[in-house]
Copies of this chain bind each other. A is one copy, B any other.
């Protein structure tokens, strides 16, 4: 199972008048996290787009356990849940500075042709990397 963690800092513009991080921003946090995972295994998402493939979101779900606040340094852990055939599934976990899980999410991306929007097989280079990593880890 391929997994990846990194730290992010909450920006002022991410907050709302409740003083919490607005719920719409978690989708942006997790988008950055999954592309950081791909960068780490050597296939930045920008490279996938250069191959003529887009990876739009097909479904996503979030559970909000505790709020996040301005200037918090959070740890995002991204895991690839299912080896991609025509879709790829991610799981996310967000921890605050004292190690409490404050948010969890699941998300599915499709692979589509960037011109025709038709479903595609994942790029070979991605399959090879994922396969290689899943063996080695």
Contact = CB atoms under 8 A, between A and B. Distances in A.
A13 interface: yes
Contacts of A61: 59-62
A32 interface: yes
B27 A27 contact: yes
Given A59-B61, A70-B46, A11 B27 contact: no
Contacts of A67: 56, 117
Contact of A17 (B35, B64, B70): B70
**Size class of A's contact patch?**
35 or more
A64 B70 contact: no
B46 A57 contact: no
Given A11-B28, A24-B31, A31-B12, A59 B62 contact: yes
By secondary structure, the A interface counts as mixed
A56 B24 CA distance: 12
A11 B57 CA distance: 16
Interface string A22-60: 111101100110010000000011100100001011111
B23 A16 contact: no
A39 B117 CA distance: 29
Interface in A69-91: 70-71
Interface string A1-27: 000000000011101111110111101
